[in-house]
Amino acid sequence: MRRFTSLTSITMPLDRANIDTDAIIPKQFLKSIKRSGFGPNLFDEWRYLDHGEVGMDNSKRPINPDFVLNDPQYEGAQILLTRRNFGCGSSREHAPWALEDFGFRAIIAPSFADIFYNNCFKNGILPIVLSSEIVDALFAYQGEIVINLEEQSVKTEDNIYNFEVDAERKRRLINGLDDIGLTLQYEDQIRSFEVEHFKKYPWL
Amino acid sequence: MAQTLYDKLMGAHVVREQDGATLIYIDRQLIHEVTSPQAFEGLTMSGRKPWRNKANLAVPDHNVPTTERSNGVSSISDPVSRLQVETLDKNCETFEINQIQMNDVRQGIVHVIGPEQGVTLPGMSIVCGDSHTTTHGALGALAFGIGTSEVEHVLTTGCLWQSKAKNLKIEVNGDLGKHISAKDIALYMIGEIGTAGATGYAIEFCGTAIENMSIEGRMTLCNMSIEAGAKVGMVAVDDKTIEYVRGRPFTPTGKNWDLAVTYWKTLHSDEGAYFDEKILIDATLIKPQVTWGTSPEMVVDINGETPDPEKEDDPVKAESIRIALNYIHLKPNTSISSIAIDKVFIGSCTNSRIEDLRVAAAVAKGKKIANTIKLALVVPGSGLVKQQAEAEGLDQIFTDAGFEWREPGCSMCLAMNADRLEVGERCASTSNRNFEGRQGQGSFTHLVSPAIAAASAIAGHLSEV
């Protein structure tokens, strides 16, 4: 997995609450059996004026000039700034795959849906929870911000905001550790648990 | 110490704890074609093998056609959909995973067939790369949706890292009114607490309305717990649970059955167990619920109206109302029952079980759908539900009334197959999500119960029974 230590970037302000994973990546793109290439279809229905389908040449599609992702002043932003309950709905990991493929490495919001939040960490994306007041302030702020995962901080020119993150998730993200490899270190422990478990619940 | 049901279920599966993360053992993983290809690819690339093949059961459901499909996978006309189903077939063969294939009579929506086959049982830890895995909590199981990286993790290690959720008790007391169902409780609850109202919580539903509810009703309610943001939605095991589970193909028998029942009877919260939050709902106050907007929390009584953003104090909420009304082409203060619909969908992992079909058929019996309805679909949750419905003559009632009777699958809930709404079409749907474009780009969804869906098909507009 890609490591995350620190990041300096402008933010992409997506001012909307309750953005669901269907909006992040619509279902027709879930038919892919690959893990990459979802970036051009991130927020497809908001980003383009036509109906998107798998296999289209996205560079030739009419873009929606009113949608923030198409605003040239935010080009290259690696931090998505948005409102509460981001990533609700479907468990599709295609949502963080699309965000990562587009170029986002961090997302700041007042809250996230549980499965989406979890999926971000598996893909080297840092989801940051900050209060609605701080998020309001960041929406009003122009310029680059600096995210430091070790310090658990978000810095603007005038302010430093600290955020919470589970120690274990932080360790894995900073070191780019592979979850499966880590878990398999405990293979013997899992085996012995399993033996006891099936003894206790023999019908399983 | 007195424990909640969630604490007991977590406790029974802890392999290891470190730094606030808990490694839990997974008894059962359900697999479908959409969220598994990349997980199997991960196994191939790393050269790893499944930890315990028998822990898994696969079924294709999202992409399958609901029309004539006797030619099997080649009946899928969309090549991209077909490849996904073929990939599942291939992966299950390569990795020796038990699969119920597309043309097996037991095929159906993963969350319908799990309990139907006895593959998901009380007390189990159950995961699936699908958010509606919360459904299985109705049996007193620990069941939740995961992403594809975690599907691969469970396939490879038999385990999953978790952080403990908080406990939320939702107590629903009193008798439900006529034509009011578990779906109405679910939508009402989400309307009360919001789509993030239970984020970080494990919900346990209890109270007299839940005790009196059938297991299938409990599945509908637990299914929609994810729409409130919950980690899991559960109901304690009672006699109904045990009777439901008895005699199913994968249910234990003989001595193991007796042992299992003894254990299952302990699967309830202890007297005095601590809940971080408690919510009380009076079931007698619940009217048929209809969503008006683009989030399941945007819900009102069927005799209500769309909201007015001018009357909303919270600016973020007011803006959400404006965006939703604008998308769904409705004005503020519109009477819900005046809203004309184009299509009706009865199905999905929320409402496609035999009881749902019985309720809808009872409403449709001897009537005709309105001539303004372009399509009214009934999509049973599994081949066995379909068989049962046909044995009861429900298919005939539906087709006589002008509904189409289809083959099982996820269908128009998310429109990954050919069943979808066209731009500007409006649907009364028994599914679980009314997000923008969910049932087809530029389409409008109103979530309702099976009774209201059937009544609306007959009336041509959103309607009470």
DSSP secondary structure of B193-216: H-TTTTTTEEEEEESHHHHTS-HH
Q: How confident is the model at residue A143 (pLDDT cuts 50, 70, 90)?
A: very high
- Write the residue in B16, B46, B263 that is nearest to A186 by C-beta: B16
- Alpha carbon dihedral B144, B147, B148, B151, in 10-degree steps, equals -30
Tell me what the mean pLDDT of segment B323-328 comes to. Answer: 98
What distance in Å separates the CA atoms of residue B418 and residue B360, rounded to the nearest whole number? 23
Q: What is the pLDDT of residues B112-135, one digit of tens each?
A: 999 999 999 999 999 999 999 999
For an interface test with B, the pick among A91, A123, A169, A173 (most B C-beta atoms closer than 10 Å) comes out as A91
Computed over every residue of chain B, the mean pLDDT equals 97
Q: Is the CA virtual torsion A72, A73, A76, A78 positive or negative?
A: negative
Task: Report phi then psi at B165, rounded to 5.
Answer: -85, 160
Q: Contact A31/B34, CB-based, under 8 Å?
A: yes
pLDDT above 90 for A1? no
Task: Report phi then psi at B144, rounded to 5.
Answer: -155, 160
Domain map (residue ranges) of chain A: 6-175
pLDDT above 90 for A18? yes
What distance in Å separates the CA atoms of residue B111 and residue B218, rounded to the nearest whole number? 13
Q: How confident is the model at residue B20 (pLDDT cuts 50, 70, 90)?
A: confident
Q: What is the pLDDT of residues B101-115, one digit of tens each?
A: 999 999 999 999 999
- Write the residue in B21, B149, B442 that is nearest to A119 by C-beta: B149
* Cβ contacts of A34 on chain B, cutoff 8 Å: 37-38
What distance in Å separates the CA atoms of residue B308 and residue B293, rounded to the nearest whole number? 12
Q: How confident is the model at residue A178 (pLDDT cuts 50, 70, 90)?
A: confident
Q: Contact A113/B199, CB-based, under 8 Å?
A: yes
Q: Contact A17/B320, CB-based, under 8 Å?
A: yes
Question: How many CB pairs (< 8 A) connect A and B?
Answer: 186
Q: How confident is the model at residue B362 (pLDDT cuts 50, 70, 90)?
A: very high
- The domain defined by A6-175 folds into Aconitase; domain 4 (3.20.19)
DSSP A20: B
DSSP B286: P
Tell me what the mean pLDDT of segment B288-303 comes to. Answer: 98
pLDDT at A2: 87
Distances (CA, A) of B295 to B121, B126, B290, B307, B433: 31, 27, 11, 14, 7
pLDDT above 90 for B442? yes
pLDDT at B197: 97
Tell me what the mean pLDDT of segment B177-182 comes to. Answer: 97
Is the CB of A50 inside 8 Å of chain B's CB atoms?
no
pLDDT at B322: 97
Report whether A151 contacts B123 (CB < 8 A): no
ipTM (interface predicted TM): 0.96
Quote the minimal CA–CA distance from A195 to chain B in Å: 12
Find the closest chain A residue to B85 by CA distance: A31
Distances (CA, A) of B61 to B15, B88, B106: 32, 11, 12
Q: What is the pLDDT of residues A40-94, one digit of tens each?
A: 999 999 999 999 999 999 999 999 999 999 999 999 999 999 999 999 999 999 9
pLDDT above 90 for B34? yes
Report the predicted TM-score, pTM, of the whole model to 2 decimal places.
Answer: 0.97
Tell me what the mean pLDDT of segment B209-226 comes to. Answer: 98
Give the residues across from B37 on adjacent strands.
Answer: none
Q: What is the pLDDT of residues B149-174, one digit of tens each?
A: 999 999 999 999 999 999 999 999 99
pLDDT above 90 for B335? yes
Q: Contact B15/A189, CB-based, under 8 Å?
A: yes
* Residue among B417, B431, B420, B422 nearest B352 (CA): B431
pLDDT above 90 for A162? yes
Q: How confident is the model at residue B316 (pLDDT cuts 50, 70, 90)?
A: confident
Q: How confident is the model at residue B19 (pLDDT cuts 50, 70, 90)?
A: confident
Tell me what the mean pLDDT of segment B326-355 comes to. Answer: 98
